[in-house]
């Protein structure tokens, strides 16, 4: 893709196509700055009657632990202000893991069960961290397959501090779908924009799979499409 706008439009078009084919599609959705353009396109498509969310079921990838759902930096708040407040998705079809510190394991197990009960994810949209994370599956010696509680890495805390007044306000923990929950989706689209993602994209597509670059596991999935702009693609070998 030439630029971010193009990438956002194409991603929205693929998602809309999925919903046109199957109106009760189960969508896995990301947050972060990368998908903002895609959500803006989806909202304008909805206003032009080009997409109907009334039967769509959504599962968000992750959520911070310790932020109330109405906190402006919570992913719940993000999803409502970027998408759900502007389209006709049913409240009961929207799933965002909300984890009170007390019982993360139960919340995680229930979230997995809800995905299963919905019939599994048809289309999962992903961003990628500068360190190669997907969801909040951070580089490590091993990765969890299922939805789980995670301690965020310094790099992620640093990267996400731009959204908070100070670095100290960034939550240290989150709940995230595991790499197995992500890999179980029928189709996956990963979006990356900007030079800061170039290294992660190049490592992800290297041909080697390593838990040190969680996104590299996607090479094992049968239907992944990666949408990158010129800058994010700049370190890919020709």
**Which residue among the candidates 60, 76, 93, 131 is catalytic per the annotation?**
131
Distance in angstroms (rounded) separating the CA atoms of residues 53 and 126? 19
First to last CA, the chain: 15
Among 25, 34, 58, 60, binds ligand PGA (CB under 6 A): 34
Q: Is 62 a known active-site residue?
A: yes
Question: What does DSSP say about strands 94-95 and 57-60: parallel, antiparallel, or unpaired?
Answer: parallel
Closer to ligand PGA by Cβ: residue 30 or 93: 30
Q: Does 7 bind ligand PGA (CB under 6 A)?
A: no
Among 97, 104, 129, 214, binds ligand PGA (CB under 6 A): 129
Report, in Å, the least distance between residue 238 CB and ligand PGA.
Answer: 25
Distance in angstroms (rounded) separating the CA atoms of residues 58 and 92? 10
Structure tokens at 82: 């970027």
Closer to ligand PGA by Cβ: residue 28 or 32: 32
**Which residue among the candidates 63, 122, 138, 203 is catalytic per the annotation?**
138
Q: Does 124 bind ligand PGA (CB under 6 A)?
A: no
Distance in angstroms (rounded) separating the CA atoms of residues 61 and 30? 6
Among 32, 37, 104, 132, binds ligand PGA (CB under 6 A): 32
Distance in angstroms (rounded) separating the CA atoms of residues 235 and 237? 6
- 3-state secondary structure at position 163: helix
Binding stretches for ligand PGA (CB under 6 A): 32-34, 127-129
The residues annotated as belonging to the active site are 62, 131, 133, 138
């Amino acid at each position: 893709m030439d630029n971010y706008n193009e990438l956002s439009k194409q991603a929205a078009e693929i998602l809309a196509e999925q919903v046109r084919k199957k109106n009760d599609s189960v969508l896995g959705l990301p947050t972060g700055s990368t998908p903002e353009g895609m959500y803006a396109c989806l909202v304008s498509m909805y206003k032009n009657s080009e997409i109907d969310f009334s039967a769509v079921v959504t599962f968000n990838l992750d959520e911070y632990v310790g932020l109330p759902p109405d906190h402006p930096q919570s992913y719940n708040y993000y999803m409502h202000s970027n998408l759900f407040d502007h389209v006709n998705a049913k409240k009961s079809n929207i799933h965002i893991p909300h984890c009170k510190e007390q019982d993360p394991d139960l919340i995680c197990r229930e979230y997995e069960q809800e995905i299963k009960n919905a019939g599994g994810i048809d289309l999962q949209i992903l961003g990628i961290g500068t360190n190669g994370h997907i969801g909040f599956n951070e580089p490590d010696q091993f990765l969890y397959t299922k939805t789980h509680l995670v301690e965020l890495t310094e790099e992620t805390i640093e990267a996400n501090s731009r959204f908070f007044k100070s670095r100290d306000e960034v939550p240290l923990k989150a709940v995230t779908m595991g790499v197995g929950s992500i890999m179980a989706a029928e189709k996956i689209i990963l979006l990356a924009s900007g030079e800061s993602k170039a290294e992660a994209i190049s490592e992800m597509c290297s041909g080697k799979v390593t838990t040190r670059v969680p996104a590299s596991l996607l090479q094992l999935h049968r239907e992944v499409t990666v949408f990158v702009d010129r800058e994010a693609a700049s370190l890919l070998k020709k």
